[in-house]
Each structure stands twice: as structure tokens, then as C-alpha cells.
Amino acid sequence: MSARIASLPDRALVRVGGPDARTFLNGLLTQEVLTLEPGQLRFGALLSPPGRLLFDLFLFGENDGVLLDVDADRRDALIQRLSLYRLRAQVTITPDDGTVQVLWPAGPDTPGRPDPRLAALGHRHYGASLPTTAEAANWHDHRLTLGIPDPARDGGQDTTYPIEADFDLLNGIDFSKGCFIGQETTSRMKRRGAIRNRMLTLEVDGPLPSPGTEVLNGERRAGQTLSGQGNRLMALLRLDRLDGQLTVDGSPARVLSPDWMPRN
């Protein structure tokens, strides 16, 4: 079956070049950058010093640097943040006008690179735009069905820890690398293994509620909604309150438990 192809207008590109590009990014991001080969794609984030998620991003290796795939609305903010950390590093940080495209399902001959979070997501493509056969909304339906959070779109940036957004399960954090911003909090959460909340997809019987609506398990609070489309949304849920009848604004709701998430 041919892959569906969609452009993502809510994503944009930043090029980080110069002789210190990989070293510079490696000291900031949750992902290992020093070993990033040209043509290789990885997933990671830039955190706040207390360990909250600021920017989710993809890193595409180039011969002379790294291309970052980021939230379009916050690209300028990311460039400004990276520039503050530049100091004496020999790096250039510039916006790129290229288009981010996604292709799914993907096979060996599908253009682009495999999404590093989950193979079933398909490929991400940078470079000359391909003719589209689907809309961005179709892609987000696919993503939500697979239970994959998009913090920039679903909500949770600036308030959520990356492990709560499932970065530890989706290849977004390299726990064996050296220091990165927010590493102390992130590593402590991983070591303790006591993750109380995670982003999960909810299927709701009825109209989707506004972001921030309480999810109830009986009369107990089980979490809050983020955003979504159709009858599916992403929610930040308490893992110890998933069993039982969940409701949102009085409507029944069901957790879609993805295959990639370990069962506790």
C-alpha cells in the first residue's frame, strides 16, 4: 500500500551549524548528539533547569551540523534560548524555510527517515516537498490512535516532565550520556521508578471537552484532558486510577493502552 503523505505546518526547522554544533547541542539536549551521523534522525527535548519540558524536537544529522524539527509557533523562542547558551561556542543558529512532511505507513522504499519514537508512525521527510495525499489532521488521527503524545500540540510544555510525556519510552532521553539541562531531576525520576502520571490517549463518548477538564474515576480525580480531535484526545492521567469507569464532563471515556507502553 502506498504511503500517505502530509505536510505539517505546525512544525518548522532550525539549522545549527559550525564546528562546535554537535558538542554545543549535546550539552543541552536530552538526546546524544555527538554520535549523530549524517542522515540519522533522533528524538529529544530541551528542558528547563528544574527538568520541565520546554521544547520537543527531532534532530537530523547533516554533514556540517544538525537540522532541528521544532514547533513552528515556538521556533523563534527556541532560537533565542539556544543563543543564550551559545557563549563562545563556534555555532550558527538560523531558521530554515524547509517543510516537514510525514509519510505512513512506511516501507523500505518510503522516502524520509523512520520516526525514532515508534516504527508504526512511519517516516519524517526533510528536503524537497513531496506531493501530498493527506492532511495534517489525518496524521494526528494516526498518532493519537498509536497513543503518541505531541506536547507542542496536545499541551503540557512548560509544566510537564519529559517522562510524564513518555519520552523515556519513545527514545527521547539518553540516560547514558553526559550532562544535559534538567538531567538531575530526569535521572532521579527514572531511578526511583515511581512515575505517577503519564500522557495517554482517551476515547470519549461525546464531544471533546476543553483542555484542562478533569478526568474522573468515580468521584476521584484521575487526571486532566489536554487536546485532541474527533473522539480522541491526549490526557495526563494518574496511573493508579486507570482501572474502573472513567468519565469526562459526565461522558464515558476509555484509555487506549498502546502496545509500546509497559503494563504495570
> What integer pLDDT is reported at residue 1 of this predicted model?
60
Determine the Cα–Cα distance for residues 75 and 12; give it in Å rounded to an integer.
Answer: 7
For domain 196-256, give the CATH number. 2.40.30.110
> What integer pLDDT is reported at residue 262 of this predicted model?
86
> What integer pLDDT is reported at residue 186 of this predicted model?
95
Predicted confidence (pLDDT) per residue in 91-115, tens digit: 999 999 999 999 999 999 999 999 9
CATH T-level fold of 1-106+144-194: Gyrase A; domain 2 (3.30.1360)
> What integer pLDDT is reported at residue 178 of this predicted model?
83
Given a contact cutoff of 8 angstroms between Cβ atoms, the answer to whether 30 and 47 are in contact is: yes
Determine the Cα–Cα distance for residues 160 and 224; give it in Å rounded to an integer.
Answer: 12
> What integer pLDDT is reported at residue 134 of this predicted model?
98
The torsion defined by the Cα of 15, 19, 22 and 27, in degrees rounded to 10, comes to: -110
pLDDT under 50: residue ranges of the chain: none
Backbone angles phi, psi at 239, to 5 degrees: -70, -25
Residue ranges of domains in the chain: 1-106+144-194, 196-256
